[in-house]
Amino acid sequence: MNLSLTEIQEALKQPPNSKLQSYRIVVLRNITVESILPYLQYYAFRSGLEAAVSVGNYDNILQDCHGGLGADNKPIITSDTDSILIFFKLEVFSWPLARDFLSLNPEQRESEFERVLDYVELTLQAIRKQSSAVVLWHGLELPVYKSLGIMEDQLSDSQTSTLKRLEVQMKGILSRHTNVFYVDLSDCITQIGINSFYDNRFWYYSAAPYSLDALNVIAEKDFKYINALNGKNKKCLVLDCDNILWGGIIGEDGIDGIKLSKHGTGGGFYDFQQELVNLHSRGVVLALCSKNNEKDVWEVFDMHPEMLLKREHIAAYEINWEDKAGNIKKISESLGLGLDSVVFIDDSPFETDMVREILPQVEVILVDPKQSFDYRQVIGSTGYFDSLQYSTVDRQRTKMYQAESGRRRLQNNSDCIDEFLTKLGMEVTVKFADEKSIHRIAQLTQRTNQFNLTTKRYSDADIKKFVDNDTCDVLYLSLKDKYGDAGIVGAVILQSSGNTAVIDTFLLSCRVIGRGVENAFLSCAIKAARLRKVEIVQGKYIPTSKNQQVSGFYSRCGFDEELRLNIMDSSVDAPAYFLSVIFD
């Protein structure tokens, strides 16, 4: 479904659903790539951003990183730059390595090889001197026509092998810098085919190697990175059942009549279920929303021999005859996930239209059961759930959300909130960050949107810097209750100087909001500040579209109008309904 340039431009003329946030992109390049502009603007627009794109000078990547000036006579990279896209084409940088490989002797090959790596390193160092922006380095393209033909496949020192080795080393350099990511263009080439990707006419005419279709898929991929880093990736997939998980209607066709099998006409559904299980392993939360008799649906789950999806993969469900918009809302509330992190998939245009209409924040996918063989591709190609983190916590996420769903049910029946919270038997532990917790803390800063006072996104390396910094304290909070161990669900970063400790970051996973955990956490943060012998704790609140609920957090806790608390004469206490609050 590749949109043409005309369609993209029409789409950009539509008024946005909500106010767009400005997002500054710098494109550095050694090729002509200006035509990517409308595509970047389009995908930004779809992510609620208004892209301001400035393109660096032709074949001036390194100079532009060293304060090079743009057409407006101002530096191309500034401290406001949000992301930097680098298009570094080997043909331009090293013609011998890219096109005249066979004439190089081994020494020459190595020296060209090193020259490329040095350039990458110098470029990144120069960027980091003036900006902490996200850097997306677009990957090396392997030769379309191999220099030795089929013989190339046999050799370990061929051009292809050499360039693959170069790619590995480049990735190594990129990974040693913070917030720098490798965008593998070979996916984009595979997606649309090599003949659609390159257009040699424009390569010879104006050093523009990529077709418009190519630039479209590249921009789309870039925004998968940008969305993941902005915490815009989706977290929950809500599934219809009939004609989505299996072919046919369970209430009519019965368990022996529905289509679901590894081979044959049920193959698309089987493969789709495998993809769902994979998504579950990646930490995506799965939920069911189906108009059915609940008993019939669970019968398929329990009894059908080819069901890959099991009850334990499902974090929440609404199986009834009520409207799906209302049901999806209930699901999102029961899981404590915002509607804008939900994707809904159904085969009925009625249902998808209704959900689009009533819940515009929800991303809706309509599929056609006659083309169930494409279901897997439909979900795989969206990138909705793409994230730049993958850890064991992801794999356990459903269990936590299942426990959460149970908790919420109890809460609705609980007359007295304190009594309910006491019954939970919550045990809070707050500790100083160590090597083992750094990754999870960074992940929390990237994912957490609602209970996040400053919404600063940090990488593992950033957190490590805070931990190693003598004037900073990084604290994390873990929570246990009668439903299970929620693991690390909160983080605080304190920066102390003179008589003041500034709370740079204060966040809690949305899974534990609404239980007074924040007060317990703040009480521990203040204890940590006391160890620093400071007198004042300075809070900070940076409003975003999602963190309104915490705008009054510090004042509720007794901080003054400037969000300061004098800890010499006041304090914050943990609520009494916690079984224990341990700080060590």
**Could you list the residues that contact other proteins (CB under 8 A)?**
4-6, 9, 32, 34-35, 199, 201-202, 205-206, 208, 211-212
Range 374-382 contact pairs with CB under 8 angstroms and sequence separation of 24 or more: 374/268, 375/244, 375/268, 375/269, 375/271, 375/272, 375/275, 376/268, 376/271, 376/272, 376/274, 376/275, 379/237, 379/272, 379/275, 379/276, 379/279, 379/345, 380/275, 381/191, 382/343
Query: Which lies closer to other proteins via its Cβ, residue 4 or residue 566?
Result: 4
Q: Kindly report the number of other CB atoms within 10 A of residue 58's CB atom.
A: 15
Query: Which lies closer to other proteins via its Cβ, residue 85 or residue 180?
Result: 85
Query: Which lies closer to other proteins via its Cβ, residue 212 or residue 219?
Result: 212
Output the smallest distance, CB 4 to other proteins, in A.
4
Q: Which of 161, 159, 214 is nearest to 185 (CA)?
A: 214
Phi, psi (rounded to 5 degrees) for 337: -115, 140
Output the smallest distance, CB 5 to other proteins, in A.
4
Please give the DSSP secondary-structure letter assigned to residue 152: G
Query: Which lies closer to other proteins via its Cβ, residue 198 or residue 432?
Result: 198
Output the smallest distance, CB 74 to other proteins, in A.
21
What are 516's two structure tokens?
């007074």
Query: Which lies closer to other proteins via its Cβ, residue 207 or residue 277?
Result: 207
Query: Which lies closer to other proteins via its Cβ, residue 54 or residue 243?
Result: 54
Query: Which lies closer to other proteins via its Cβ, residue 164 or residue 201?
Result: 201
Output the smallest distance, CB 195 to other proteins, in A.
11
CA-CA distance, 286 to 337, in Å (whole number)?
A: 12
Residue 506, beta-bridge partner list: 492
Beta carbons of 139 and 186 less than 8 angstroms apart: yes
Output the smallest distance, CB 68 to other proteins, in A.
20
Query: Which lies closer to other proteins via its Cβ, residue 210 or residue 384?
Result: 210
Beta carbons of 32 and 207 less than 8 angstroms apart: yes
CA torsion angle 184 185 189 190 (round to 10): 0
Phi, psi (rounded to 5 degrees) for 183: -105, 110
Output the smallest distance, CB 188 to other proteins, in A.
17
Output the smallest distance, CB 6 to other proteins, in A.
6
Output the smallest distance, CB 201 to other proteins, in A.
6
Q: Kindly report the number of other CB atoms within 10 A of residue 246's CB atom.
A: 28
Contacts of 443 (CB under 8 A, 6+ apart): 389, 391, 393
DSSP 543-569: --SS-GGGTTHHHHTT--TTSEEETTT
Contacts of 314 (CB under 8 A, 6+ apart): 286, 287, 288, 398
Query: Which lies closer to other proteins via its Cβ, residue 205 or residue 390?
Result: 205
Query: Which lies closer to other proteins via its Cβ, residue 6 or residue 156?
Result: 6
Beta carbons of 94 and 37 less than 8 angstroms apart: no
Output the smallest distance, CB 92 to other proteins, in A.
17
Q: Which of 425, 401, 283, 241 is nearest to 332 (CA)?
A: 401
Contacts of 308 (CB under 8 A, 6+ apart): 270, 273, 274, 276, 277
CA-CA distance, 19 to 11, in Å (whole number)?
A: 16
Output the smallest distance, CB 70 to other proteins, in A.
15
Q: Which of 517, 513, 521, 537 is nearest to 476 (CA)?
A: 521
Query: Which lies closer to other proteins via its Cβ, residue 4 or residue 548?
Result: 4
Q: Which residue in this structure is represented by tokens 């515009």?
A: 360
Output the smallest distance, CB 49 to other proteins, in A.
22
Query: Which lies closer to other proteins via its Cβ, residue 9 or residue 371?
Result: 9
Query: Which lies closer to other proteins via its Cβ, residue 8 or residue 85?
Result: 8
Beta carbons of 374 and 268 less than 8 angstroms apart: yes
Q: Which of 384, 405, 385, 383 is nearest to 394 (CA)?
A: 385
